[in-house]
Amino acid sequence: MSADNVVKIPPAHDLPTPEPESPSIPRSRQPYRFSTLCATVETPDAGHKDQHGSSSVPIYQTATFKGVGGHYDYTRSGNPTRTHLEHHIAKISSAEHAFVVSSGMAALDVITRILKPDTEVIAGDDIYGGTHRLLTYLRTHMGVTVHHVDTTEPTSVLPHLNPGKTAMVLLETPTNPLLKIVDIARISALVKEKCPDATIVVDNTMMSPYLQRPLEHGADIVYDSATKYLSGHHDLMAGAIVCNRDDLAKQMAFIINSVGNALTPFDSFLLLRGIKTLAIRMDRQQSTAMLVAQLLSRLGFVTHYPGLPNHPGKEVHERIADGYGAVLSFQTGDVALSERIVAATRLWGISVSFGCVNSLISMPCVMSHASIDPATRAARGLPEDLIRLCVGIEDPADLIDDLQHALLEAGAIMFAANDYVRIPNPISRAVEKLALGEPRRNDARPREDREWFVSAPGKVILFGEHAVVHGVTAIAASVDLRCYGLTSPRHDGKLSVHLTDIGDYRHEWDVDDLPWDAVTPIPPGEPHPDQLDPRLMEAISARALPPADEMPRQTHGSLVAFLYLYMTLAHGGHRPSFHYVTRTTLPIGAGLGSSACYSVCIATALLLLHQRISVPPLPAPTRAPGAGDPGHVHVSHQGRRAIPAVAAEEANRWAFVAEKVLHGNPSGVDNSVAVFGGALAYTRPGFGRKSGMEPIQGFKSLRFLLVDSKVPRDTKKLVAGVALKKLEDPEAINKIMDSIQSISDEARRALADPELSRTSLLSALAALINENHAHLVSLGVSHRSLETIRSTTAAEQFRLSTKLTGAGGGGCAVTLVPDDFSDSSLRALVSALQAAGFGTYSTSVGGSGLGILSPYNHKETRAPVTPPETPAESDDSVDGTSSLRQYFESIDGSTLSSWADECGRWAYV
C-alpha cells in the first residue's frame, strides 16, 4: 500500500457464498468481495425466511411473540430483525458469533463482565476516554487490577503477564486519538504463550470490519461502536461484538439477556441498512483523509495518520489492515490556536464522535477524553492542543478549502508566493530571554538565607454542597485547621521535599537534573495559560519521579504539583536550592480542602523563593523579659501585619494552577478560601444567576465541631448520581435545588447582617443546617456514618445541629456549637463520637487566610522562640545558628498550631 494509492482492492474472504434462487449453474463461483458481502443480506437459515419475500429485512417491532417452542418469545431475548443483523455482522467480520447491544460502551461492559474480582487487565495507554472511565470503575469498585502500558511496543505487556491472574488484554488500533498502531498478532502470540487463558479483546471502531478483522490475527473478542462506521449516519447508537469461541459467546449471550441491553428492532433495522453502504462510504472517506493528512503534514504540523510515509507504525498497520481509515489528528503547538481553528471551521462539525458521513472536528482533551484527568493525559503523552479530524463523504475540495480558511482565520497559516505557509508560533521576546538567559550560577540576585514559614487554612462548605454543580450558590468558609510549609536554604544544588503527613515521604533531586528542556517559563507578573503544559507534566512524571503506583497514595500528585510550580516560576536562570517540609492539622482527604491549602502553601513559598512576591519587613526583635540567653529571642506578635493584596492575588492564581495539577478542573473556591480566609459565596457560571465568588463582609467567627467519618467517598460518583436523579425526575430535583438556593441566600444575609444578634444568628443557622442536610439526604448523598454522627450530636443531652460537608458519602460532618455550650458537654460529645470510631476536631470557622512568617534574616541576630520542649542542638542549621526545621519536623501534632503561633509575628491576608 502506498501513500498515493490509499485503498487497495480488499482480498476475497473465504466465507459462505449465498446460493442463488435458481438451479445451480454448473461452474464454480468465486467468493464475494467485501463490498458485495456488505450489500447482500441473506437469511440466517430457512426458519428466518420472510413469507412475503421482502427484499429488505422487516422491522419486527414487537416486544412479545405468540406460541410455544418457536424461535422467539420476548424481544429482550431475541428478535428476527436483530438476528438478521447479527448474522450479517458475523459474516463480514470473519466470525462465528455476533451480538448487537445499545452502544459501544455497552459492548465493552458486556465483555468486561466476564472478569472476576482479583484478576488483572492489561490495556493501552492511549485509549478512548470512556474505556478509561470504565476500567477505572472496575479497578476502584470491582477489585480488578488494571495495567496501562504502551501497547505499540508488544514486549511492554510481558512484565505484567501473570499466569492465573491476567484475565484480559484490551487493545485498540489505531489508537484514539493519536493514531498509534498496535501489532495485534504479535501481542496475541506473546500473551497466549505465557497466559493461555487470557482473553484478547480489540476495539475495532476506528477501522470497522471493512479495513481490519482482528479475529484473523489472534483476537478472541472484537467490538465496535456501531454508532460510528457500521451505521455511518449518527442516527442511532449501537455496539457490536464478534467472536469465534463458543464458550465466550455463551457467556456474553447470557449477560446480554440478563441485563437487557440488546439492540432494539428499529435500531437493528437502521444499522443493517447502514452496513450495506459501509465499503463505499469508507472508500470515499479514507481517500479524502489522505489528502487532508498530506496537506497538514506539508504545512509543518505534527500529523498523526498511518497512511503518511513517516508514521512509525505504518509497516505494522499495512500488515494487519486493508486501509488507513478516515480519522487523523494534528498538533498546533498552542491550545488557544487549536481552539481558534476548531471554532473557525464551517463545514467540519464540532462533535465528540466520528464515523459519520459528515466531517467532524474536535479537541479530544476537552471533549472525548476530558474524563481522563490532566495529569494522566500528560503522563500518557496526550497533547492538550491536539485536534482530531474525522473525514466524511463531502467533496474533498470543499473540506480542504474550509480547513484552509479556518487555519488562515485562526492565524496558523498565511498565503504567500501563491501558496499557504505555516506561521511559526509567536514567542514573546521576554520568554525567549528567560529561556536563553544566563546560567543559574551567574544570577545576580542575593542568596536567600532565610527560612520562610507559610500556612493556609482548610475550608468547609456550610451550605450548598452538590447543588453548586447545578448553579446553586455555595457558602464556603475557612476553618482554623491549617497546613504549614517551611523552606530551609541548602545552597548545594539540591532540592528536597518532606511530606510528613503523606506516608512521611521524602524525595530529593539535583536541581540541574530536572527536565528543564520541557519548561516554558512564565515571566513575573504574567498569568499562567488556561491549560496546563502537557509537555512539562509528562516530563516530570516520566523523568523526575518514580511511577505513581510505587509511591504512597496522593504523593505522586503532590510532588508533580510542587515541581510544576517550581520549574514554571523559575526565571532569569535562577534555580533556588532548598528543603521544603509540610505538615497539617487537617485530616487529609476528608473534604476539608487539604489539597487546596497545600497548594496555597507551595505556591506562596515558591513565589517568595523565586522573588516574585514580597511581604512587609519584620520589626526588630525584642528580648523577652528576663531572657538572659540571646539565643532565645521572642518576637512580639501584638497587632497584625497584612500581606499586600497583589501578593495574595498572585498566590491565589498559582495555587489554582497547583489545584489543576491535582484535580483537573477545580472551581477555585477551595484555594480562594485558603488564601483570603473568612467566608465567600460562590455561584457557578452558566445557570442564569450572577456567577463568581463574593466575600461575605462582616462574617462572624463561629465555633464548630468537625467530625471525620473516616469513610472514603467518591466525589465524581456522588455528583453523577445527583445528575442522574435530575435527569430522571427534573421537576422534583429542581424543586430541591431551589430550596437549597433559598437556604444559601438566607444564610448569606444572616452572616452579613450586623444588626442580627448573636443568639438569633446561631438559632437561624442551626435551623438552616438541619434543613439543608434534609435536602442532601433527598439527593442521596449522605451516608449511614454521617447519619450516625447526626443522631449522636442531636441526642437529648446535646441537641446540636449537624450536616455533611463537601462531597458527602462519607468524609466530614460539621456541627454548629453555640456560644453557651459548656466545655464539659463538648468533652462528653467528643468522647461519644470517638468511641464510635470517628475523628473529632474542635475549631472555629471564618478566621484568617494565608499567613507568611520569615522569623529572621541572615544579617540579623535571630532565633525562634523556645518551643514547648527545645530539642538538642543539631547540625541542621542556617549559617551555624539553629533553624525552625529541626523543631517543625519533630514537634508533636497536638501542639503544632500553638507552637507555630508563637514563632513570631505572622503576616496574614
The predicted pLDDT at position 309 comes to: 92
DSSP-assigned beta bridge partners for residue 495: 509
Name the DSSP class of 445: S
The predicted pLDDT at position 374 comes to: 67
User: Cα separation of 42 and 92, whole Å?
Assistant: 12
The three three-digit cell numbers of residue 471, written as one number = 448553579
**Least confident range of 116-130, 337-351, 465-479:** 465-479
Residue 668 backbone class (left: φ over 0; alpha: ψ -120 to 50; beta: rest) = left
Show the domains of the chain with their CATH numbers: 34-277 (3.40.640.10), 279-433 (3.90.1150.10), 452-616+641-663 (3.30.230.10), 701-851 (3.30.70.890)
User: Cα separation of 305 and 325, whole Å?
Assistant: 9
What lies within 8 Å, CB to CB, of 508 at 6+ separation is 494, 495, 496, 497
Give the model confidence (pLDDT) of 296-354 as tens digits. Answer: 999 999 999 999 999 999 999 999 999 999 999 999 988 889 999 999 999 999 888 89
What lies within 8 Å, CB to CB, of 771 at 6+ separation is 739, 743
The amino acid at 390: C
The predicted pLDDT at position 441 comes to: 40
Is 673 in contact with 459 (CB distance < 8 Å)? yes
User: Cα separation of 738 and 720, whole Å?
Assistant: 19
Would you mind telling me the total number of residues written for the chain in this entry? 909
Task: Output 884 or 290, whichever has higher pLDDT.
Answer: 290
The predicted pLDDT at position 617 comes to: 55
The three three-digit cell numbers of residue 185, written as one number = 498478532
User: Cα separation of 782 and 801, whole Å?
Assistant: 15
The predicted pLDDT at position 308 comes to: 95
Is 588 in contact with 596 (CB distance < 8 Å)? no
* Selection from 573, 561, 556 nearest residue 536 by Cα: 561
- Kindly report the backbone phi and psi dihedral angles of residue 676, in degrees, each rounded to the nearest multiple of 5, phi listed first: -95, -15
Is 840 in contact with 596 (CB distance < 8 Å)? no
Is 398 in contact with 391 (CB distance < 8 Å)? no
User: Cα separation of 103 and 237, whole Å?
Assistant: 5
Which stretch of DSSP H or E encloses residue 94? Answer: none
User: Cα separation of 488 and 158, whole Å?
Assistant: 44
Calculate mean pLDDT across residues 267-277.
95
Indicate which residues carry an active-site annotation: 76, 128, 203, 228
The amino acid at 55: S
Instruction: State the CB neighbour count (10 A cutoff) for residue 511.
Output: 19
Give the model confidence (pLDDT) of 45-89 as tens digits. Answer: 766 777 767 878 889 999 999 887 778 999 999 999 999 999 999
The predicted pLDDT at position 55 comes to: 79
Whether 641 shows a pLDDT value over 70: the answer reads no
What lies within 8 Å, CB to CB, of 135 at 6+ separation is 112, 121, 123, 146, 170
Task: Output 529 or 442, whichever has higher pLDDT.
Answer: 529
DSSP-assigned beta bridge partners for residue 641: 907
Under the banding of pLDDT at 50, 70 and 90, the label for residue 369 is: low
Whether 873 shows a pLDDT value over 60: the answer reads no
Whose cell is 514573546? That residue is 428
Is 846 in contact with 699 (CB distance < 8 Å)? yes
The 3-state DSSP class for residue 568 equals: helix
- Kindly report the backbone phi and psi dihedral angles of residue 857, in degrees, each rounded to the nearest multiple of 5, phi listed first: -120, 150
| Cα atoms in the 13 Å half-sphere on the side-chain side of 415 | 6
Distance from CA of residue 306 to its chain's centroid?
Answer: 28
Q: Are strands 120-124 and 166-172 parallel, antiparallel or unpaired?
A: parallel
Whose cell is 437561624? That residue is 764
Q: Are strands 349-350 and 360-362 parallel, antiparallel or unpaired?
A: parallel
What lies within 8 Å, CB to CB, of 685 at 6+ separation is 691, 692
Peptide bond between residue 58 and the one before it cis (omega within 30 degrees of 0): no
Angle at 816 between CA 810 and CA 821, to 5 degrees: 130
For the chain, how long is the longest CA-to-CA vector? Answer: 121
The predicted pLDDT at position 719 comes to: 80
User: Cα separation of 901 and 897, whole Å?
Assistant: 6
User: Cα separation of 527 and 569, whole Å?
Assistant: 11
The three three-digit cell numbers of residue 168, written as one number = 484480559
The three three-digit cell numbers of residue 535, written as one number = 509537555
% of the chain at pLDDT higher than 70: 85
User: Cα separation of 390 and 382, whole Å?
Assistant: 18
Specify which of 270-284, 440-454, 566-580, 613-627 reaches the highest per-range mean pLDDT: 270-284
The amino acid at 545: L
User: Cα separation of 318 and 242, whole Å?
Assistant: 22
Task: Output 358 or 352, whichever has higher pLDDT.
Answer: 358
Is 84 in contact with 48 (CB distance < 8 Å)? yes
Specify which of 24-38, 473-487, 783-797 reaches the highest per-range mean pLDDT: 783-797
Distance from CA of residue 385 to its chain's centroid?
Answer: 16
User: Cα separation of 731 and 728, whole Å?
Assistant: 9
The predicted pLDDT at position 214 comes to: 97
The predicted pLDDT at position 329 comes to: 95
3-state SS of 632-656 is CCCCCCCCCEECCHHHHHHHHHHHH
Mean pLDDT of the chain: 83
User: Cα separation of 478 and 807, whole Å?
Assistant: 17
Under the banding of pLDDT at 50, 70 and 90, the label for residue 848 is: confident
The three three-digit cell numbers of residue 340, written as one number = 481558534
The predicted pLDDT at position 645 comes to: 77
Distance from CA of residue 559 to its chain's centroid?
Answer: 17
Give the model confidence (pLDDT) of 376-423 as tens digits. Answer: 666 667 888 999 999 999 999 999 999 999 999 988 998 776 778 888
- How far CA 409 is from CA of 362, 396, 529, 711, 783, in Å, comes to 17, 20, 22, 53, 53
The predicted pLDDT at position 862 comes to: 37
User: Cα separation of 135 and 145, whole Å?
Assistant: 9
Specify which of 324-338, 365-379, 579-593 reaches the highest per-range mean pLDDT: 324-338
The predicted pLDDT at position 884 comes to: 79
Beta strands in 427-538 (DSSP E): 452-463, 474-489, 494-499, 505-510
Under the banding of pLDDT at 50, 70 and 90, the label for residue 163 is: very high
Give the model confidence (pLDDT) of 857-868 as tens digits. Answer: 433 333 333 333
User: Cα separation of 609 and 566, whole Å?
Assistant: 9
Give the model confidence (pLDDT) of 610-636 as tens digits. Answer: 888 876 554 444 333 333 333 322 233
User: Cα separation of 357 and 227, whole Å?
Assistant: 12
Instruction: State the CB neighbour count (10 A cutoff) for residue 16.
Output: 10
Name the DSSP class of 366: G
Whether 18 shows a pLDDT value over 80: the answer reads no
pTM of the entire predicted model: 0.49
* Selection from 606, 583, 558 nearest residue 483 by Cα: 583
The predicted pLDDT at position 383 comes to: 86
User: Cα separation of 590 and 654, whole Å?
Assistant: 23
